[in-house]
Amino acid sequence: MADTRPVDLLAGRPALVVGGGRMGLAIAQILAAAGIAVMVVEPNCATRETAAERLAQIFRLQGQPQARIALVKVVADIREAPGDVAIAIEAAPESAELKREIFRRLDEFCPADAIFATNTSVIPVHRIAADVRDKSRVVGTHFWNPPYAVRLVEVVRSEGTSEETMQRTIAIMAAVGQQPVRVNKDIPGFIGNRLQHALKREAIALVQAGVCDAQTVDTVVKSSFGARLGIMGPLEQSDLVGLNLTLAIHEVILPDLDTSRAPQKLLVDLVAAGHTGVTAGQGFRSWTPETRTELQTRLDRTLGGKKGTRS
């Protein structure tokens, strides 16, 4: 299957993306760049109106043929979806109830052999798919932001997901240029977000306890172990230095790490005060329009590199 063209893996049939926001549109771009026709369902009129320009921007950033934009059609309602959809990827807001309703409607409008995938960040897939009759076709496809630059996709096996659905989904993701990995258990946050938020929990605890300020946390991460994380994962690194060292460190440090089982006071208080981050000008750190642009530019410059897709 490795050399099959993406469009052939879908037997020439279109894909459906539900939600045309940040992630949905970028996922649609990846599929279209690989030659797949995509219909995007986006209920918000203003968001639909900016879709063409947002798509063009990603195609420009990736140096991919603008003509492929024509493969993406943005509509307001699932009922406008073509009758022969091969895969539907849901990228609506992170609400279990909303996603469950979308899956119920997919079950109503999509052909019996279509794959139903969700891009949820942390919600267990089986909660979203509770009303889908044939659970063998349900799978998680957790893309990262921005998906055209951060290529990993966690392909999550949920309750009832068939091995055929896993294999077809993995093949499609690989064929459109992403890097799929298997997640064998449908647990909150899958792999990446569990690791990421375990780190954030300790980061917030350090600031809350007055050990250092938020800027220092970010500096320590970026300039120490963060600098090598893209080259060497944490378990590879443990093997490299020797597991006896990791064991000795864990004996001292694990009893002292934060174990909060609910969002910490610092985070709750910041959100309650409207300090929600760069758009508000204040989050853990203070932001001006200039520092916000500088952060985004730094990210785009580092991650925005082109990648090839086969079509």
> Using an 8 Å Cβ cutoff, are 162 and 190 in contact?
no
**Which string of x and - marks every residue 241-270 that binds ligand NAD (by CB under 6 A)?**
------------------------------
> Using an 8 Å Cβ cutoff, are 77 and 43 in contact?
yes
Cα distance between residue 245 and residue 172, in whole Å: 41
Cα distance between residue 108 and residue 216, in whole Å: 51
Is residue 110 close enough to count as binding ligand NAD by CB under 6 A?
no
Is residue 42 close enough to count as binding ligand NAD by CB under 6 A?
yes
**Which string of x and - marks every residue 140-169 that binds ligand NAD (by CB under 6 A)?**
---xxx------------------------
CB of 145 to ligand NAD, least distance (A): 3
Q: Which of 121, 161, 165, 169 binds ligand NAD (CB under 6 A)?
A: 121
Cα distance between residue 25 and residue 171, in whole Å: 21
Nearer to ligand NAD, 80 or 164 (CB): 80
**Which string of x and - marks every residue 54-93 that binds ligand NAD (by CB under 6 A)?**
-------------------------------------xxx
Cα distance between residue 198 and residue 282, in whole Å: 23
Nearer to ligand NAD, 116 or 143 (CB): 143
Cα distance between residue 165 and residue 133, in whole Å: 15
- Alpha-helix runs per DSSP H in 188-288: 192-208, 214-223, 225-229, 234-241, 243-253, 265-272
Cα distance between residue 80 and residue 90, in whole Å: 15
- Quote the DSSP letter at residue 277: B
Q: Which of 14, 29, 47, 153 binds ligand NAD (CB under 6 A)?
A: 47
Q: Which of 15, 41, 51, 176 binds ligand NAD (CB under 6 A)?
A: 41
Q: Which residue is nearest to ligand NAD (CB)?
A: 21
Query: Which residues contact ligand NAD (rule: CB under 6 A)?
Result: 18-24, 41-44, 47, 91-94, 98, 102, 119-121, 143-145
